[in-house]
Structure 1
Amino acid sequence: MDLSVSDAPVGRLLDRRYRVESLLARGGMATVYRGTDTRLDRVVALKVMHAELAADDEFVSRFISEARSVARLSDPHIVSVFDQGEDEGAVFLAMEFVKGRTLRDVLREYRRLDADLCLEIYEAVLSALRAAHDADIVHRDVKPENVLISDDGRVKVTDFGLARATRSQGNTTARGLLLGTVNYISPEQALGERATPRSDVYAAGVMLFELLTGRPPHSGPTDFVIVRAHIDEDVPPPSEVVSDVPPAVDDLVRTATARRPELRYADAGSFLAAVRLARAAIASGEAPGARHASQTPPALMSDPQGVQVPPPPPAAGHAAGDTADDDPAAGAIELADSFYHGYDAAAPGAAEPAAAGDETNASNPLDVATAFYHEAPALPPPPPPPNPNRTRVISTQPDTSHAGQSAENSGTDVSTGHAGAGRAGRRTQAQQRRRWRGPVMFILVLVLAAAVTVGAWWFGAGRWTSTPSLLNLEPDAAMTVAEEAGLSATADGEGFSERVEAGLVLQTEPGPGEQILRGGTIRLIISQGPERYEVPDVQGMTREQAETALTDRNLIPDFTERHHGEVEEGRVISQDIDAGDEVRPETEVSVAISLGPEPIDITDFTGQPAEDAREALADAGFNVDVDEEHSESVAPGVVISQDPPSGTGFENDTISLVVSKGPEVVEVEVPSVVGERVREAAKILEDAGFEYQVEPDFGDGGRLRRQRVLSQSPEPGSRVPEGSTVTLYIIQF
């Protein structure tokens, strides 16, 4: 199995079932999202492992084992895990969604909590941890962030991401790093030893100190300093920080946070019993302590939730020789253990296991359920033992003189008369009958008990057997294995799978290891291989047609819209996955829908150079039509007018420009002045409306009468604009 992982983006559908909706929190190993189970239409919390941890198989395995660990637990104060899966690299848990906030959030708001509220919360927390410890699971990360308070006041423990079975031999370190949170880590974990239920008890004790005082017991500038403090320093009593903490609560914290594990409560069950004792003692104004050796376990009473708890001890003192006199903490532990584990802590030898053959110590131990939820049933008194020294009368004479007379009415003593001898004989016969009747009845009882036991076994467990694993086998091979186990198997259904090859057994009902009646039939679900769908060609379709074509193939259309000059509005321009490709179900196919031609803003270029206007309009996608006109007021080459002058248009629309040619020109014929004297030539040109200039210029006008026009430009007879300049080329003689 590929265990690569990644975060799940909002909007993604995990395992074709869980829709990720919004981010809730980000932790050290995973990110938690609010999601919806689309099959059951319920809100769930989706815990998705961080992608950067994918390279570490240990972290991935621990993350997956959380689902298995919590699934084994049954307690109303534990956040339920509904499902676990992996979808294209995203390893996730689907969990119960608790609407509310964490105990850390509550602590931030109220700064600290009073002792009564703390103990009420702690009953729920320790109940959850007790369920874990009873299942041989250590939480290993008990802290306020992992305790949820719902809006309706329910208390839930979550995040078993570091949980590990107590039978595991692994220690608390990984690559030199401590697993857990330094403020709550136990001294033995800090020293690299294996975590036990007492480690959870320590963390719970530290958390109780923090709830009561508003701060953790140890602090420092670095994690190392805090860890060393857990190893070298005792947790102080909460009453040293706040004055209103009862002594009974101080004792709870001191015992739970003892640096030596053997001085703490054995597990969360013992801690829970101690908390209930402390609450009862505080309510009655007494201090919890060890009972007198002669006292029996007190009767159970009901707490406000209806759970039966032991009442406070009747007196605060201790009997002589009580171990609690020398060590109050040890006495509190033994007293709590006595109610949780079912022995009288004050009784001599109570904590010692029963020796082989010692029926007194081994008989009728109080178990957890009896101690907390039911009163112990009263045992019937044992029958009196036979007395080997009692006198028995044996008659040596036949009873002939008082035949027919009852011994009861004879009045004769059995030791002195024949009547007594007769009664003795009859009594001897009755005793003989009783002697053999007892063994017979005993044998009958044994036979009946054996029959009941065998019947109970058969109707309870004897009729059942475990389902063998038939996964990843061909159907014929699976049927053979089932027959060898005394069962039958039949192929009854198919399902898609990303991991199981088509044609092999994907799933069985019942599942491997589950109970099934002997001779029963196992239902085989056969793999169809990966579920794939061919992407249709939707280009040119309308939006509705494209949506139908994709959803019919279990694909998800993702529509976007954009302008297109050639595709009609409302029809598909393109799709991001080529038609004919085979993809997973629920794959998103991006489809672009045309909005028609894109509107283009029209800029007014009136009064601007025509060349600039033509270039800008062409770049915008317009066609430009240019006309020229004379203008007395607009310089040549400048736009006189534009149609349309503004607004919006579309690509390939035509914009008309009128460009100035300057003023309109009146052309006149150039008169001939060649051969004329310069003075007369100048007069002729001026009269015709022309300007003139002389080339070369010989200077003084006194000689003008000796200067004649040799040639002119423009030439005589040509037509030029009125007012043009005629150049006269002269010769002087």
Structure 2
Amino acid sequence: MDLSVSDAPVGRLLDGRYRIEALVARGGMATVYKATDTRLDRPVALKIMHAELAADDEFVARFINEARAVAQLSDPNVVNVFDQGEDDGAVYLAMEYINGRTLRDVLHERGRLGADLALEVAESVLSALASAHRAGIVHRDVKPENVLVGNDGRVKVADFGLARANSSSSKTTRGLLGTVSYISPEQALGERATPRSDVYSAGIMLYELLTGKTPHEGPTDFVVVRSHIDDDVPPPSELVPLPPSVDDLVVTATAREPLQRYADAGAFLGAVRRARSAIAGVVLPAPEDDPELAETHAEPRDSAGVTLDEALAGTVLAGQVGQVRPDEDVTETSRPGSTRRIDAPLSIRFTEDETDAETGEEPPRPGSRAARQAEARARAAAHRRTEQTRSRRGLYLFLFVLLLAVGVATAAWWYGSGRWESTPSLLDLTAEQAETRAEESGFTAVNGGEEFSETVEAGLVLSTEPGPGERLLGGGEITYVLSKGPERYEVPTLTGLTVEAANQLAEPLSLTVRVEDEVYHDEVEAGLILTQSVEPGEQVRRDTEVVVTVSRGPQPLTIEDFTGRPATDAQAALTAAGFRVNTVEQNSNDVAPGVIISQEPASGTGFRNDEITITVSLGPELVPVPEVRGERVEDAERILREAGFEVEIVDLFPGIGGEDGRGVRIQNQEPQAGTPLAPGSNVRIIHF
């Protein structure tokens, strides 16, 4: 049962206890409904996690953590959490219902607040945060949208959905948790949020309350985040006249270096209270030389002399209606500042020379019976006229008060709720259907654009402003936003690109490219992408991460020198290392056959398939033995020695041919003529 995508569940009983009354708001993580706790008969706010997130254990744990974190706090400025549970897959929180609006709504209506009023709001917010910090909890998302202002003027901090117990982990949280306009520099850098991070966000919010704008603005979220990291927050007095003590509050709270800020919300709260006491009764002069500057610096409407309850709950009246006490004389206003009496006392006198107005006869003599009777009748008539006058005056006074009360009540009804009507639900309707339903209910529906949605079909109404069931002047406009359906982007081909080029291609598609590994590759140039985790052409959600592998180019290989070693060993080892071996043979009188004479290159590094040339010895160059048979001994010896051989003379019959055998001819030779021998080899010549 998906209770988080529309107002359809109105009237249902959740978990056998909470009867859903109306949709209040929808966020990225959950939908909030107004409900009635049937057991305790009290209104509550039900925060129900979106169905697709309820299936994710990590999100559910985070959601439940909110309930546990806030339940630890006991502060009048914290939205209370009453209950937490699950019903048929719907994970929910039951919280205190605040009849009012957000601080963001107040800023939209008023532009900015006066210094004392802004500090009073900040004091309430910091009181809630101080309670959280004492419990070891960091809010992480302090902003006007998470500050609720009740119609009775109470200020409460809500939505600890991003909160974490400060002592639960010392690991750094990567990624941005929070809202870019209020995020602290350390959170923007991916560091762990601390109480000083909440102090920074509260300082940004105080700046906005005082000036009507945030200090860091830009065309993209990235520009705003970089401003938090690189730029100091200027004193708010550059935009509006303020006491130096208020500037000090903002500048200290928003210092880029956390250690230069207030240690926590409690310290910030104490500074705010001291500043309020210091500036009590101080009147700031508005610039008089420049009319535009004077207008800019003027106190915002309804700010001066208005209490927090009146200014934020919208209960300031234009005038007051007085009441007349029964014992007062009724007076009629003749002009401002003056009155005249309309009920002078009645007296009747008779003189001796006066005549009866009715009979024309002379009045009776004083003291006579007739005179006494006449005086008695006159006193009775005067009394009756006095009573009649008083009776008419009381009646007129009663009618006046009654008419005044009716008029005031009618005016209050008309200006309070008489002109306001409940808005219909346009959710999940087409644009044409929504405009028709709004017209039937006495309103005008206007198209406010399109937004992506994972839960509402494309072309149907995703949200409205104001929402269903809210009060709006009759004939007013309801702005509706149509769903564009799920936000999907087609993954491009990233292989063969540099990482920089891949990021430029992925950024407009709301994709993230992350390099997971760099590996050697013989064919792909270093720095180019080899593989990607998501296939090109696949449709993916916003902010999908595509993991890529990048080439490091060919792997460098160490070259081993095989000079003086057998060629067979060199051939096997170099081939196994990935090189191509080129073999050259050469005669050598110094190197044995089959042994490497030289190698090129002989050292350093190379790459796979590089060529290495080895020169292999064939041994000495061989010379064929000359033919010396039939030659005289002395000639044969000379011929052989000139050919480079050593000569051994063998006489088979010593003494026959003389002592030295001179003149005798050679009968045989070993080895035979033509046999190749290395120079210096021994050749035997035989004679007898």
TMscore range, shorter length? 0.3 to 0.5
Q: TM-score, normalised by structure 1?
A: 0.41
Q: TM-score, normalised by structure 2?
A: 0.43
Whose RCO is larger (CA < 8 A, sep 6+)? 2
